[in-house]
Amino acid sequence: MSVFLAAQLGELSEPPALRDAVQLAQTEVPMASDPEDPMQHKQAQAWELRQDPSMVVDKNGALNNTSSYIGIVPDKQVGTVILTNRGDQYVAKVGRRILLRLTLTKEIALQKLQQLEQLETLEEN
């Protein structure tokens, strides 16, 4: 799953056809909007898309004795995979929280770095 996640994030050297297929699979498929869905979740080829606050591309699944989740925030180059040996777990909720924390932390860290760079520039002048 980690290799699959890396491929979805574009971190592997792959043939252009595979890269194009990954992008196509993550592209929104037009469908009627649901007024009951405040987040306006969208569907891609095999993925679910949700704005949370960045675009999250994810998919979850389960059987009687397993639960799984894979989530990607493409514009932040962040992803997570969760595999459990219990089928009655809603791991998508946990995965989405992890992605939110990772992306917000990364944004805050970048903001702090930019602030430090601005201070250093002012000190040099």
The CA-atom distances, in angstroms, between 62 and each of 7, 42, 72 are 23, 21, 19
The conformation of residue 95, written as its DSSP 8-state character, comes to H
Give the start-to-end residue ranges of the domains of the chain: 2-124
* Amino acid 69: pLDDT: 94
Is the overall model pTM greater than 0.85, yes or no? Answer: no
Fold of 2-124: Beta-lactamase (3.40.710)
Closest of 82, 75, 12, 67 to residue 49, by C-alpha: 75
pLDDT tens per residue across span 45-75:
778 888 767 788 899 988 889 999 999 998 8
pLDDT tens per residue across span 1-45:
888 888 888 888 778 887 787 777 777 776 656 666 555 567 677
In a 13 Å sphere around the CA of 28, the CA atoms on its Cβ side amount to 12
> Under DSSP, is residue 36 helix (H, G, I), strand (E, B) or coil?
coil
pLDDT tens per residue across span 67-117:
999 999 988 899 999 999 988 888 988 898 888 888 887 777 777 678 777
**Beta carbons within 10 angstroms of residue 69's beta carbon:** 24
Phi and psi at residue 45, to the nearest 5°: -55, -55
